[in-house]
Each structure stands twice: as C-alpha cells, then as structure tokens.
C-alpha cells in the first residue's frame, strides 16, 4: 500500500494507506476491546442525566402538565419546541444515507452509519414530548386508527398532530430498516471474527445468513437502492408535515406557505451541525482521523453554507411578506419578534444561524476541527432558538391586549429537555460499543479512491501485481465464488 501514487486532482477518502484487513481491525476494535476510562466517564454522565430526566418525567406524569410554565395564552412552548428540534436533528442521517447515495457521493461512506444511528436516536427523543404532552401516555395508542369499542371516539384525520404521528412513525420505521440493511454485511464480518458464544449466536441471527456471494451482494445492493429511493421523499415530507402544525393555523407568524421548505432546510442545517459535533468527537476519541478526514468535515460545512443560506433567505422572506401583505397583525407579529420582549431570543437566533455559517467561507476555518466543532454547537443553539421564537413569540401577544402574557420555562421543562440529551448520548455510546460505527464494506469500496498502484518490475514474483485477464479468461481461471465480492469493492 505504501507504493501507491496519489492523484494530483483528487484527495483520498482514506488519508493513510491501509489494507482491507487493517481497516477491518481498526473499525472492529472498539467492539472487541475493553472500554476505556473515557468511555466509562462519558457513559456514566449520560446515564446520570438520563436517570434525572426519567425521574422528572415520572414526576410530571404523576402530577400533571400543570407543572409546566404554560398559561391560557401560551399553550405550546418548550415541549413542541424540543419536539421540532429533535426531529430536525434526525434529518441529516437520512440525507447522507439516501440522497447522497443516490447521487453517488463517495465521501458519505465514513459517516453514513453514525448519521443513520443519530437519526433513530433523535426521533426517539422527539417522540417523548408528544407522549408527555398527552398527560396520560399510557393511552397513546388512542391516536392509532384501529377498530375499537370506544364508540364515537375516533382520531381526527384533519388534525396536523395526527399527521405527525404517521409521519414520525413512518420515518422511524423506514430509517430503522435502512440502517439495519446497511449493517448486514458488517454484522456478518463481526460474526466471523467472534469465537463461539452468546455474542456470536446473536450476530449469526442478525446477519441473516449472509454469505458474501456474488448473488448476495447483488440482492443487497438492489434492496439498498430501493430503500434509498423510499427514504428520500421522507427527508422532504416529514418536516413538511411538522411545519403544517403551524402553517395550517390562522395565527399571525404561523399562517404562511413558506414554512414547508423553510423547515426542511432548517432541519438539514441543524442535522449536519449535530453530525459534525459527533463525528469530530468520534474521530479524536477512536483515532479515526484517517477515516473521517478533513475532506469529510469540509464537505459537510459546505452543505451547512448552502442550507444556512436557505434559512437566511427564509428569515428575510418572512419579513418581506409581512410588510408586503399589508396585514397589520402580521406586521406586528414580526416587529414584535425583532424588537419585543423576546428580542434577545430572536437576535440570538439570527447571530447563530445567519452570521456564524458565513465563517465557513474561509478555508482555514473549514479545515480546522476545533473551529468546526465550536460553530456546530453555535448552530445547534441557534436552531433551537429558531423554534422557540416561532412558537412563543407568535403566541404570547394575541389579538386582545388583555390576553398578552409572558412565558418562562420551569425547571421541570428544562430538566426534561436535558434528560433527552442523556437518552441520546447513552444510546450513541452504546452503539459505539456494540456495532461498527463505520461501514466496513463501504469504506473498503473507496480505499483506492485517488490512488493507483504502479507496476514494479523489480519486485519479486510473489509480490508483483497479478496480470490483468480479459473477461473470458478470468471466468475460466476462477470459480464463481472465488471472485464473489461487492461490485464496487476492489478484490
């Protein structure tokens, strides 16, 4: 591998020369070795935060959601803000896995597995808030339209909140299947590396009898392509439906047709920021700097520049339409956002989401992991404030001045939100220990990207490259299973 020449035009996606065996060893190492003290500290903190959040949720379910800071004017606040925030976080995983796969973007191979897992964990966190908001989460099955004996009590199909149930459940199901199908070849690899025992039996079942034959790879790639095609519309539809929670109302600040594309762009924007946050930590802690390279980070920052520009355009369009419409209530709603009691939240949002992404225009910042990490955190903060501003500032000043009110979250609401981060990082840390965090087969397929191995006449016969055979001769010289491998993985 050390004799390989680098392309003068392209940058390798695996920055250091590695054999396929070395790649397998490095990616499987976190699963096979004992966890380090750093992992235990991080896991302990995450579990402690999760336990605290679980206790707070149990308290508010037992006491009632009156422990929240809601009032007669502001009926939605922290809960729906956090719901939309977590749903948005999960969008980057599907985009990286499905859309970039369909566009044959090879740089996705090192980050797609972790991004897909992040999607599932984020949707789990998001689903908690509607359940808690029901007040009686043990009756959550009432939102499902199935034959029952409850008489006239039936779901309202005209409610955007019911649309959310179908959108989120569909999104989670398809994303989970997509993630699992992508895992199957790697599960077989881990299965074959394990000694006889319980873990080997589990991986044997989970790998579904994978043999690695040419037919198996062919069927696998067909299914993966079909699932990518099914998952792609979900990237656009899920957050579109979430935006309709607001856009179908008649409240100034919500009743606007720009919300669907606005929310989708914001979801991808915040999702990529969270992927960057996790990948920068992962590449340092696990020593994957040669697999998750600066090129991967730079490409993701470029996506953030594009989606950040779309979000900025949406902010400006909202203000322009409010002025152009001539509607005094619409104008007041947006002037109140920028200069009213919650102006601090609005300008925090603008600073984080409009100003900070433009720093990525500078290559020095785009290629600095420390700067990218800080800016990704800033963007996540800004995107949370965006949802807070949209929801609270549109509600707290109604048509009647006598109904005007202010909202302040209680410690119960803040603790619940922090608890979801404990759930998210607990699941992610367990994922790192139990399953390959990087797709072994897909990274091997780009191992030779931007590299070429020249012939070496001076090399001994045992190390010279094998002669290239034409197709008929190759077929005669090798039995079918001997050359069975994934079509885009070099043998």
- Among candidate residues 108, 38, 32, the one with its CA nearest the CA of residue 429: 38
- pLDDT score at 4: 62
Summarize pLDDT for 429-479 with one digit per residue, the tens: 999 999 999 888 888 888 877 666 543 444 444 444 444 444 444 444 444
pLDDT at position 32: 84
Say if CB 38 and CB 432 are below 8 A apart: no
Higher-confidence residue of 148 and 54: namely 54
Q: Tell the residue number behind the tokens 């149990």, with chain if given.
A: 58
Residue pLDDT, tens place only, 308-321:
999 999 999 999 99
CB atoms within 10 A of CB 38: 9
pLDDT, tens digit, 9 for 90 and up, residues 17-26: 778 888 888 8
List alpha helices for 396-485, DSSP H: 411-434, 440-445, 471-477
Cα–Cα distance measured from residue 106 to residue 96, given in angstroms and rounded to the nearest whole number: 10
Q: Which of 450, 411, 407, 362 is nearest to 52 (CA)?
A: 411
For 142-190, write each residue's pLDDT tens digit.
Answer: 888 888 777 777 888 888 888 888 888 888 998 899 999 999 999 999 9
Percent of the chain topping pLDDT 70? 90
More confident residue, 202 or 467: 202
Region 475-489 average pLDDT: 40
Express each pLDDT in 258-270 by its tens digit: 999 999 999 999 9
Mean pLDDT for the stretch of residues 284-311: 90
Backbone angles phi and psi of 452, in degrees to 5: -145, 140
Per-residue confidence (pLDDT) for residue 478, from 0 to 100:
41
Sign of CA dihedral 182, 33, 44, 63: positive
What structural domains does the chain harbor?
Answer: 20-146+156-446 (1.20.1630.10)
Rounded Cα gap, residues 396 and 484, in angstroms = 64
């Amino acid at each position: 591998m050390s004799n390989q020449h680098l392309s003068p035009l392209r940058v390798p996606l695996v920055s250091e020369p590695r054999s396929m065996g070395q790649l397998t060893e490095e990616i499987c190492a976190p699963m096979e070795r004992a966890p380090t003290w750093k992992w235990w500290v991080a896991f302990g903190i995450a579990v402690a935060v999760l336990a605290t959040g679980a206790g707070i949720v149990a308290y508010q379910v037992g006491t009632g959601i009156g422990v929240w800071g809601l009032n007669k004017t502001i009926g939605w606040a922290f809960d729906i803000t956090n719901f939309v925030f977590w749903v948005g976080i999960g969008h980057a995983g599907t985009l990286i896995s499905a859309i970039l796969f369909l566009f044959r973007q090879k740089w996705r191979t090192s980050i797609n597995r972790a991004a897909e897992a992040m999607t599932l964990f984020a949707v789990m966190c998001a689903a908690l808030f509607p359940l808690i908001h029901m007040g009686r989460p043990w009756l959550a099955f009432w939102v499902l339209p199935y034959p029952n004996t409850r008489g006239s009590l039936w779901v309202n199909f005209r409610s955007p909140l019911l649309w959310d149930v179908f959108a989120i459940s569909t999104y989670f199901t398809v994303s989970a299947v997509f993630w699992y199908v992508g895992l199957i070849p790697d599960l077989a690899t881990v299965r074959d590396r394990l000694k006889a025992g319980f873990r080997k039996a589990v991986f044997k079942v989970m790998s579904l009898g994978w043999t690695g034959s040419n037919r198996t790879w062919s069927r696998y790639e067909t299914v993966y392509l079909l699932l990518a095609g099914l998952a792609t519309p979900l990237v656009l539809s899920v957050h579109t439906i979430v935006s309709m929670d607001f856009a179908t109302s008649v409240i100034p600040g919500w009743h606007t047709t720009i919300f669907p594309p606005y929310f989708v762009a914001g979801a991808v924007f915040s999702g990529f920021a969270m992927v960057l946050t996790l990948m920068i930590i992962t590449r340092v802690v696990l020593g994957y700097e040669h697999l998750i390279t600066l090129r991967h980070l730079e490409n993701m920052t470029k996506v953030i520049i594009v989606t950040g520009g779309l979000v900025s355009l949406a902010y400006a369009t909202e203000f322009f339409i409010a002025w152009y419409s001539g509607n005094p209530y619409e104008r007041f709603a947006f002037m109140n956002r920028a200069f009213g009691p919650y102006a601090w939240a609005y300008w925090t949002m603008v600073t984080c989401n409009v100003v900070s992404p433009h720093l990525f225009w500078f290559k020095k910042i785009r290629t600095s992991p420390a700067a990218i990490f800080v800016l990704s955190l800033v963007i996540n903060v800004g995107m949370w404030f965006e949802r807070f501003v949209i929801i609270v500032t549109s509600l707290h000043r109604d048509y009647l001045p006598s109904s005007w009110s202010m909202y302040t979250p209680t410690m119960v609401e803040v603790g619940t939100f922090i608890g979801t981060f404990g759930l998210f990082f607990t699941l992610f840390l367990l994922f790192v220990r139990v399953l390959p965090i990087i797709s072994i087969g897909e990274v091997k397929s780009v191992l030779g990207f931007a590299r070429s191995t020249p012939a070496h006449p001076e090399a001994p016969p045992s190390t010279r490259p094998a002669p290239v055979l034409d197709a008929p001769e190759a077929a005669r010289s090798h039995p079918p299973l001997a050359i069975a491998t994934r079509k885009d993985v070099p043998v």
